[in-house]
Structure 1
Amino acid sequence: MLMLCTTSPNQSWVSPSSYQYINPNPLKPRFIFFRPNSRTSLFGAKFRVPATTLAGTTHRKNADKNVKIGVLCELGNLKEAVEMVCGSESSDLDSAAYCSVLELCAGNKSLKDGKRVHSVLCEHGVNVDGYVGAKLVFMYVHCGDLREARRVFDALSDRKVFLWNLMINEYAKVRDFREGVCLFGKMVECGVELNSYTFSCVFKCFAALGCVREGEWVHGYLYKLRFGSDSNVVNSLMAFYFKNGRVESARKVFDALRERDVVSWNSMISAYVSNGAPEKGIEIFREMVWSGIDVDLATIINVLMACSDCGNVVLGRVVHGYAMKGGFDVDVALCNSVLDMYSKCGDLSDALRVFEKMGRRSVLSWTSMIAGYVREALSDKAIELFCEMETDGVIPDVYTITSILHACACSGSLEKGKDIHKYIREHDMDSSLFVCNSLMDMYAKCGSMEDADSVFSHMPMKDIVSWNTMIGGYSKNCLPNEALELFSDMQRKFKPDSMTLASVLPACASLAALDRGQEIHGYLLRHGYFLDQYVANALVDMYVKCGVLILARVLFEMIPVKDLISYTVIIAGYGMHGFGKEAIAAFNEMTKAEIEPDSISFISILYACSHSGLVQEGWRFFDIMRNDYKIEPMLEHYACMVDLLARTGNLTKAYKFINMMPIEPDATVWGSLLCGCRIHHDVKLAEKVAEHVFELEPENTGYYILLANIYAEAEKWEEVKKLRERIGRRSLKKNPGCSWIEIKGKVNIFVAGGTSHPDAMKIESLVKKFRSRMKEDGYNPKMQYALINADEVEKEVALCAHSEKLAIAFGILNTPPRKTIRVTKNLRVCGDCHEMAKFISRTSRREIVLRDSNRFHHMKDGNCSCRGFW
């Protein structure tokens, strides 16, 4: 029935969405049915409406409801639209209305309303196998209910490719990559026609899972389907190969691409940079420019990152200039990249210029500048900038906090570090594992292990970095027992990695805990950690300091690629054990390998020369360091040269050398000469030198004891008494003599004069037995080392109670015959103990390895490796 449209002056046209098109034949004219205005009646009050007209009226009412829902959805009125859907009868609404509401639910992420609409669909028995079903899946995905989305998806018989892609992509977003790959497999089985977005989605999953073989299969499949020229697909494929470290495969894909867009070039540059090959990223950038491709902001940022990583400040400046000409320099992200590039390349002046010119500085800008100062060892400047940042009202993030904590660690600014810790607590940042690890590292490097332990104990979660930081902190702060104890605790919760082993081995070295060190050696061999350079070097150092130089040398030779640290460790090891010529041979081997020595390696070789009495060789290396390598001598180098001259009896030359030094000598330099005075019994010079030492380090009792030894050897007991009184007036405490020996993995400690050990009676008896046999052989005890002016019996008792004698005797009582005795002492071994150890090595037919604070003494058959140089 054709209804004519009449309009009155007060009647408005209805919206286009309120009419239906009836076009049974495209060649015939269309008839348009308009919804009448509520204020206009087309029929008289008494007009009888036929049944067909009533049906039409119902149809129009339904159409009106659909239209109203559509309008509500367009206006974003979700609440009323959902209420209309829920209040409708099963036949009232068409699929378009349901789809509109579901789309609005998805846009508003209103899962509750979406579920209500789904419930209505089920109640009304609406077929959801078409467009409505797709909208349902879309709604559940966008509202975060992936499980329900999958249930609806699986029930659909007609699943378009965009739905498969949507589901695979969503699984990738929630990191359920395996399910994404499984869904892709089902998609292929069902014969769904794949598109470029499908491959982009699935390559994300393959990249995350490391499924190289499967990815290569899909690579071949996409070429079979002729997607090889699609830049989006190829970009995803390259990203997949790069993510799995298949750089060459990605490059082949890139080279085969005929039409490369800017995204392809940017992907290659970014991928090379992220895979640690910034130079290759720069090469790609040059090819891109030569190819005439216009660079965009992403290109510039990627190239600046490459310049940062490889230190190419020249190219960085060129790119910076290009960015300024192109008007990119107004972008904050670019300015931060430029700032970071200058900072990492060590050009802080240009970095500061960029920083000061920035109109708006983000937290990243401040952090980059702070980190730059820290890298250049300008920790105080970094701390100043952090304070300025706080004044400027910029809230630091985790990276800022960790950077400033690193600055405090490098400068030893414990108080400032504690202020930062207070800030962290006040702003609830102490839940961050990254921040807590940095806090512990700061406290450890500032020497406050109690504070580090407090942070460690209160951490809700710990990772392996947390344990390694604490173990390494204990090792470096001369707390080896705590380091080993924590290492044992860690093994119950975490599997040690290479950093753990490199941190705990120095603790074994410090204690000379050979048995424990050998256990760790076995562990690292079983797990292949010896190939790690740091671990290998730490293992060699451990054996050196445990006195097993032969094994240290064997392991040194086994290191596949030796670095400067490897050679420095073995050179220092030879020096500690008194093998100066072998140390020189290792140094020459290092230079032949074209490894350039640094100031530390020169300290090691000069130390080796001084402990072997190699005067000419020592002067030669000192000159080589200054002239050939242009290394300015530090106090440690001068101390080694003074020690070399003093040990060999050139006391006057040593004194003149000190007075001619271009830098002010410290207590270590004067102390080296004082040691030489003791060896060569020059009391007069010792007194003159001692005054310099006491002035520089008035609290160090070790130098007072050294001078007392010199007086005692000259039997100047009155001077010894005066020194004791001087120590008493200053309330100084002498470090007690302490020695330790490891038996069956347990470290046994002995203190001078101590009688608390369970085997004290047996130990004392054995020491007296050795002393009697020494006298029978004609040896006269060196009573002056008792450091008391008493009768011979009292001096004898005092000497027999020295800690190293007690430890050696304990070792003989508790180890099988012929087993090497290894003892460590915290102070320099005295002359009497040195002689007794040599005697015991001969009579017991045992090798005794005695490590004091200065060097190793290998006693065998009555001889010592030090040859008197200690």
Structure 2
Amino acid sequence: MSCIVLHHFPINLSQSNSNPDQKKLFINPKSNVRIKDCTFQPHEELFTNVLNSLSLSTKRRDSNLGSSLHAQISKLGITTDVLISNSLLSMYAKCNLTQDAHKVFNEMPLRTVASWTSLIWAYCQEEREHDAISLFKKMLENLQPNEHTLAVLTQACAKMGSFELTRVIHCYAVKFGLTSDGFLMNCLIDAYAKSGSTESAEMVLDMLSNRDVVAWTSAISGHVWNGRADKAINLFFRMQEDDVQPNEVTILSVLHACSCINQTCLFQYIHGLVVKSTEWFRNSLVMNSLVEMYLVNGFFHEGVKIFCSFCFMSFNGESNFLCIETMAKLIQGCSLKLGEGIHGYLVKNGFLPCNVIENSLLVMYSRNDRYDSVNLLFGIMRFKDTVTWNTMISCLVKNKQPENALKLLTQISSPDFVTMISSLQACSSLASLQLGEIIHGYIIRTGMINDIILQNSLIDMYAKSGNLCLSERIFIEMNSKDVGSWNSMIMSYGINSDGISALSIFKHLMKTHQPNDITFVNILAACGHNGLITEGLEIFDRMEIEPRMEHYACMVDLLGRAGKVEEAEAFIAKMTMSPGGDVWGALLGACLLFNNVEVAERAVRHLGVMEPNRNYWKVSMANIYARNGRWEDAAKMRNEVKKKNDGVEGHGRKEEGWSCLEIRGEMVRFVTADLNHQQIHEIYRVLNGIHSHIREAYCKEFLI
């Protein structure tokens, strides 16, 4: 227990010797500090001990001790001393007791620059920047500020982002001859940068005769703050030319700037600087930023290498870990094998349970089509936030379980716009108009209707549910439209057999926006589904972008649907890239449509090499053989499918074909010869009745 001796120097000497040998002991119950009140001591020693005691309470941020000292000082009658009053004011300000500080300030008969500066600083700490500025104005009526006052005010200007106020403070610094103070100039650089004037910040930096690491770092972080990453990197190189060594804050700002620029050579250079510095290489903040720099820009393998080198290497026997947010980003890009390995690492090192990491694990398993692992992890999660539910709903939609996705929707306490997008995708997959309308009503009621992405999803949902009029209505009523809006409308007309309207919308789009890859996929598909061969060929020839595999597949489908199977095959031969499975699959679909065995066999040879584990092309080829009377070949192809299904569980097995009907808002799913429905007897009774009516009608017509 430490001991602070507060010597008592009585103001009235006639009262000082009533009991000269008596000592009083004051103990603060909430502090481990003991305060002794001793007998007569010289004046200088009294004030020295008072100031030292206040300094200690300020350093410790111990308001209880400070209040006790204040009470003792009041009893001594020395609160009018300006040094002691300033110390009390500083103590209350740094203990975040601004009201008490203001009371001390008001009771001071004499106020110095330090008094005003301390209270201004207290206001800034409480984010009362306007009060700080008002107090500064009052100060100017009485005193001239010093460099510390202006430095505190620039911090207030930085928080407010006020360029005008920063410029005023700068003018005062010039007027009072304070521009030689390095700390004040560094504060000005920071304030200018955070107010958006990076040019002014760089001007102040250039004016400095002695630029230290704080000045450079303030300017660099200011450029990063304002989204000027390239300027930040240039300043960093200038800093090195100035032979100033960067610190941790500098390198963190530079790594952030690198994340925005995405230049491989720059990544390698900064990475090399980090590796060379033992201090930075052991710093978890720096290593987290380095990993995120690579991950954000798509260099996943480099991020994994840094993770392995940092987390599996101990320094002085201590383990190293990346932060939770960085680990979450790392997990989402993992392959299944690597993701399972990192999952084990997280379990071993006590990262779980953690909602952020568990959400990323759900995404990772979903992307790798491990829906069993997704369901297992989701079931054991202790806490599920909106992100968790959104991830699970999106996973079910992707796994072709839209009805289960919509069941989960009822369990979410606070769905957001991401939830609505996934739910609308589920409704689109089911072509469920009634459920889609319910979700549309919820979107309107919660005020999310003005979100463009949601409006585009609604256009898509209504189009796939067969209500083209509502798609058109939403499109017309949109306050602003992006390319996705036009793309959704082109797709809507295409799938609803209105190719002419799709072309009309496409022409309007070309006048207002720059079409993207999806635009051309949608319009080419619309032309293909509606027999607009000439228009489709013309659009493909005039594309201003490099054709992708999807565009080639649409063109093959367009020619194939028109019966021009040989022309479609010739088109494939002229492709500028090696045709993929989608292209050959489109050609095979055309062959199935027009019973072209020869071209189908050539397409199947390519599909057998590219997609040996897929069954769709084998089934299609078997059907083509059967339609042309080649029963042995058809049987052979179907036997291959059967052998594969018997030998492979889950992923290789062909999913049984199913259909669904929406009855009073409930989706009823069924397959051929289904006997599992609760009303199966009533269903077959109605079917038999329909058959009887058809038979009777046919017999009457035949007899007539």
* Aligned twin of 1:739: 659
1:338/1:636 Cα in 2 relative to 1: closer, same or farther (>3 Å)? Answer: same
Post-superposition CA distance 1:785-837 (Å, at most 9, x none): xxxxxxxxxxxxxxxxxxxxxxxxxxxxxxxxxxxxxxxxxxxxxxxxxxxxx
CA distance, structure 2, for counterparts of residue 102 and residue 714 of structure 1: 103
CA distance, structure 2, for counterparts of residue 469 and residue 536 of structure 1: 21
CA distance, structure 1, for counterparts of residue 126 and residue 287 of structure 2: 36
* Aligned twin of 1:251: 163
**Paired residues of 2:8 and 2:46 also in contact (CA < 8 A):** no
- Do structure 1's residue 540 and structure 2's residue 459 form an aligned pair? yes
**AA of the residue aligned to 1:419:** G
Of 374, 377, 384, 2:295 maps to: 374
* Aligned twin of 2:494: 575
Which TM-score applies when normalising by structure 1? Answer: 0.64
Post-superposition CA distance 1:81-139 (Å, at most 9, x none): 84x95xx9999999879958966984896989969x97xx9xxxx9646178999xxxx
Post-superposition CA distance 1:452-475 (Å, at most 9, x none): 455555555444333333333433
The Cα of 1:19 is off from its aligned counterpart by 12
**AA of the residue aligned to 1:613:** G
CA distance, structure 2, for counterparts of residue 359 and residue 704 of structure 1: 59
Of 473, 477, 481, 1:558 maps to: 477
Write the mapping of 1:125-164 to structure 2, written as runs, cut at 5 A: 128=72, 130=74, 163=88
* Aligned twin of 2:267: 351
**Paired residues of 1:444 and 1:473 also in contact (CA < 8 A):** yes
CA distance, structure 2, for counterparts of residue 618 and residue 736 of structure 1: 35
Write the mapping of 1:690-709 to structure 2, written as runs, cut at 5 A: 690-709=604-623
- Do structure 1's residue 338 and structure 2's residue 251 form an aligned pair? no
Of 429, 434, 437, 2:351 maps to: 429
Of 597, 607, 612, 2:515 maps to: 597
CA distance, structure 2, for counterparts of residue 97 and residue 332 of structure 1: 39
* Aligned twin of 1:521: 440
* Aligned twin of 1:845: none
Of 536, 548, 551, 1:637 maps to: 551
CA distance, structure 2, for counterparts of residue 560 and residue 187 of structure 1: 57
- Do structure 1's residue 501 and structure 2's residue 420 form an aligned pair? yes
Alignment partner of 2:531: what SS?
coil
Post-superposition CA distance 1:226-274 (Å, at most 9, x none): 48975245335424534xxxxxxx23322433235425533435535xx
CA distance, structure 2, for counterparts of residue 570 and residue 56 of structure 1: 98
Alignment partner of 1:741: what SS?
strand
> Which 10-residue stretch deviates more, 356-365 or 227-236?
227-236
**Paired residues of 1:711 and 1:720 also in contact (CA < 8 A):** yes
Of 727, 739, 759, 2:679 maps to: 759
Structure 2: tracts of 5 or more residues without a match: 174-183, 647-652, 700-704
1:762/1:455 Cα in 2 relative to 1: closer, same or farther (>3 Å)? Answer: closer
Of 121, 126, 135, 1:205 maps to: 126
Structure 1: tracts of 5 or more residues without a match: 1-16, 26-51, 70-77, 136-158, 172-179, 208-214, 243-249, 273-279, 780-870
**Paired residues of 2:61 and 2:91 also in contact (CA < 8 A):** no
The two structures, once aligned, show a CA RMSD in angstroms of: 4.7
**Paired residues of 2:98 and 2:122 also in contact (CA < 8 A):** no
**Paired residues of 2:8 and 2:39 also in contact (CA < 8 A):** no
The Cα of 1:656 is off from its aligned counterpart by 2.0
Max Rg structure: 1
The Cα of 1:312 is off from its aligned counterpart by 4.6
* Aligned twin of 1:623: 541
* Aligned twin of 2:180: none
CA distance, structure 2, for counterparts of residue 354 and residue 382 of structure 1: 14
The Cα of 1:565 is off from its aligned counterpart by 2.5
1:559/1:220 Cα in 2 relative to 1: closer, same or farther (>3 Å)? Answer: farther
Of 290, 300, 311, 2:216 maps to: 300
- Do structure 1's residue 730 and structure 2's residue 644 form an aligned pair? yes
* Aligned twin of 1:832: none
The Cα of 1:297 is off from its aligned counterpart by 3.3
**Paired residues of 1:524 and 1:530 also in contact (CA < 8 A):** yes
CA distance, structure 1, for counterparts of residue 435 and residue 267 of structure 2: 49
CA distance, structure 1, for counterparts of residue 47 and residue 379 of structure 2: 61
Alignment partner of 2:542: what SS?
helix
Which TM-score applies when normalising by structure 2? Answer: 0.78
- Do structure 1's residue 675 and structure 2's residue 582 form an aligned pair? no
Post-superposition CA distance 1:137-172 (Å, at most 9, x none): xxxxxxxxxxxxxxxxxxxxxx9576566556545x
**AA of the residue aligned to 1:380:** H
Of 530, 542, 546, 1:612 maps to: 530
The Cα of 1:549 is off from its aligned counterpart by 2.4
**Paired residues of 1:740 and 1:748 also in contact (CA < 8 A):** yes
Write the mapping of 1:350-499 to structure 2, written as runs, cut at 5 A: 350-357=266-273, 358-360=276-278, 361=281, 362-393=283-314, 396-399=320-323, 402-403=325-326, 405-410=328-333, 412-491=334-413, 495-499=414-418
**Paired residues of 2:158 and 2:192 also in contact (CA < 8 A):** no
1:312/1:190 Cα in 2 relative to 1: closer, same or farther (>3 Å)? Answer: closer
Of 749, 769, 780, 2:669 maps to: 749
The Cα of 1:654 is off from its aligned counterpart by 1.1
Aligned length: 650
The Cα of 1:752 is off from its aligned counterpart by 1.4
